Structure 1
Amino acid sequence: MLSCLTCFLLHRPLGPAPRGGEMVYIPDDSDFSSFRDQCENLEGWHCRYNKGGVTVWSQGQEESCTVQKIKTRISCKDVPAETLYDVLHDTHYRKKWDSNMIETYDIGRLTVNADVGYYSWKCPSPLKNRDFVTLRSWLPLGNDYIIINYSVKHPKYPPRKDFVRAVSLQTGYLIKANGTSACILYYLTQVDPRGSLPKWVVNRVSQFVAPKAMKKIYKAGLKYPEWKHKHDPQYKPWVYPEQNTLPSVSLDELSVQHADSLENIDETGLPEDHLNMSDNEA
């Protein structure tokens, strides 16, 4: 997850909309290939920001539309692709660098490279806090790595009164090796925040919040090797499935999270000058 405002229009670290719109399924090779193509193909994308090694694009929708598809890219010097892959998986390390996170945990495993998890984050006042339950899947592709997710419903984790349950329609990361000690990170997402947001929020995400969040992940990658060396360095269940002790979850327990079944709040009247951006400002 990036920061809270980014997640409104961008999303837990971290796929395609379910086939047929109804059945929960685990992404296959074609889904990962399609996601990589979306990250690398610029046709139909409009550049919204390009500065300091970070680029932000949006795709073919009006700025006033809340459910936008947004893509970001950052070049990460001195951070190998496998290191950034570990950073995006390691929930214990996320507590060190993701200051907007309230809570994140893995609910259960589906396969050796797919699980179900929960993520919630604090939004700057007066916006309401959001959370997700997602099916996440990942795949190493040579020296590149992909992590994708989409929202699902789990009977034991219904919407909570203290959060607005948002919906990830398509979200993920592509980490491309750039030599042996550097990489390029793409983040592509389409999220329904279940709220009517002011136009200025949409603009601020692409111009300030998304670049700031990508730089935060980059810095986390630079510091990760030293941190991991002191914190169970051999434990990486996303790399070594035999280390995974999560309870098994069956696809039959899950259903697709449809946005129209969730609360939709109206925050369009919130004035920009009353928003506390604090750590989210670039």
Structure 2
Amino acid sequence: MTRASILPDDEVFADFRRQCLSAENCWQSKYNKNDMQVWIENPPPNSAPKVHKIRCKMTIKDVSAATMYDVIHDGEYRKTWDPNMLDSFDIARLSDNADVGYYSWNCPKPLKNRDVVTLRSWQVKDDEYIIINFSVKHPKYPAQGNLVRAVSMLTGYYIKNTGPNSCTFIYLSQADPKGSLPKWVVNKASQVLAPRVLKSVHKAGQKYPEWKQQNKPNQKPWLHPEQSSLPTMNPAELSIQRADSLENVDETFKKDAQENEDSS
């Protein structure tokens, strides 16, 4: 990112694309069935432990890349299909291809629920669609006491057209959920929750064209910036949210019915 702006530049998008398509052996397979794969990144030997990075890939044979791209962008539609969402809304527009927004979600009980404030930016080139986000500090949306403020270092989607009605869909995330989470949560996230969420996204893609036909079919501000009704905000008012500036909540004592199975 340039010093002049917090907004991602072409180099950031190119690096995200590289990570999504990387075949390096630092990625450890955690799940591979039904046209879906999940990996976690192994940190280099002798390096300091770093925040977990996960990559998920779906081979979609019945939904176009353009439709899946719309699904990820469409906040109104997300309210109909995202089972984990507590609240979600766009706060302000930063440029034609960037905004800042809020999202909170349910965590497996008895853990506390999480929220994030992120800067989201997107890029479309030929048959490739990229959406990325990272956590920012917004002066009007500080952390709340009843939720744990998580941190997205870099999270996003790479969607590539493979035919008129098919695509490759990759989700990559390096995020700090904050709190000293027990091992079963990390295992469950990569082996159980990630495939479940991706299946929900795929189903949402299958149903989107019909839903959109009934709900402002021509309203797509992510494709047509002039349609945006969000207030504009100077990106300089935001700063990158560092994980170490947020309180850690110790949740290692929390138990789960699958703890023994997931920790083995």
TM-score range, shorter chain: over 0.9
Deviation per CA, 1:205-264, whole angstroms, max 9, x where unpaired? Answer: 111111111111001000000000000000000001110111111122111211111120
Deviation per CA, 1:128-155, whole angstroms, max 9, x where unpaired? Answer: 0100001110001111100001100010
Aligned position for 2:7: 26
Note if 1:105 corresponds to 2:105.
Answer: no
What is the SS of the residue equivalent to 1:205? Answer: helix
TM-score by length of 1: 0.86
Q: 130, 136, 150: which one pairs with 2:134?
A: 150
- Amino-acid identity (%): 54
- Structure 1 unaligned segments of length 5 or more: list them: 1-17, 276-282
Aligned position for 2:36: 54
Which amino acid in structure 2 is aligned with residue 113 of structure 1?
N
What is the SS of the residue equivalent to 2:14? Answer: helix
Which amino acid in structure 2 is aligned with residue 219 of structure 1?
K
**Aligned residues between the structures:** 254
Q: 245, 256, 259: which one pairs with 2:243?
A: 259
Contact 1:24 1:254 in 2 (8 A): no
Aligned position for 1:235: 219
Aligned position for 1:165: 149
Measured in 1, the distance between the counterparts of 2:192 and 2:170 equals 17
Q: 115, 118, 137: which one pairs with 2:102?
A: 118
What is the SS of the residue equivalent to 1:218? Answer: helix
Contact 1:80 1:181 in 2 (8 A): yes
Measured in 2, the distance between the counterparts of 1:166 and 1:204 equals 18
Q: Report the alpha carbon displacement of residue 61 of structure 1 after superposing the two structures with TM.
A: 3.6
Aligned position for 1:212: 196
Aligned position for 1:140: 124
Measured in 2, the distance between the counterparts of 1:151 and 1:201 equals 21
Which amino acid in structure 2 is aligned with residue 126 of structure 1?
P
Which amino acid in structure 1 is aligned with residue 154 of structure 2?
Q
What is the SS of the residue equivalent to 1:263? Answer: coil
Question: Do the aligned partners of residues 181 and 241 (structure 1) sit closer, same or farther apart at CA in structure 2, a change above 3 Å counting?
Answer: same
Which amino acid in structure 1 is aligned with residue 233 of structure 2?
V
Aligned position for 2:18: 37
Contact 1:66 1:192 in 2 (8 A): no
Question: Do the aligned partners of residues 92 and 267 (structure 1) sit closer, same or farther apart at CA in structure 2, a change above 3 Å counting?
Answer: same
TM-score by length of 2: 0.92
Measured in 1, the distance between the counterparts of 2:186 and 2:242 equals 22
Question: Do the aligned partners of residues 123 and 37 (structure 1) sit closer, same or farther apart at CA in structure 2, a change above 3 Å counting?
Answer: same
Q: Greater RCO between the two (CA within 8 Å, min separation 6)?
A: 1
Q: 129, 145, 150: which one pairs with 2:113?
A: 129
For the aligned residues, what is the CA RMSD? 1.7
Aligned position for 2:210: 226
Which amino acid in structure 2 is aligned with residue 162 of structure 1?
N
Aligned position for 2:73: 89
What is the SS of the residue equivalent to 1:196? Answer: coil
Segments of 4+ in structure 1 off by > 6 A? none
Measured in 2, the distance between the counterparts of 1:252 and 1:35 equals 23
Q: 73, 76, 79: which one pairs with 2:60?
A: 76
Moved more, 241-250 or 252-261: 252-261
Q: 165, 169, 182: which one pairs with 1:181?
A: 165
Q: 231, 237, 243: which one pairs with 1:247?
A: 231
- Structure 2 unaligned segments of length 5 or more: list them: 260-264
Contact 1:24 1:256 in 2 (8 A): no
Q: Report the alpha carbon displacement of residue 196 of structure 1 after superposing the two structures with TM.
A: 0.8
Which amino acid in structure 2 is aligned with residue 33 of structure 1?
A
Which amino acid in structure 2 is aligned with residue 32 of structure 1?
F
Which amino acid in structure 2 is aligned with residue 189 of structure 1?
S
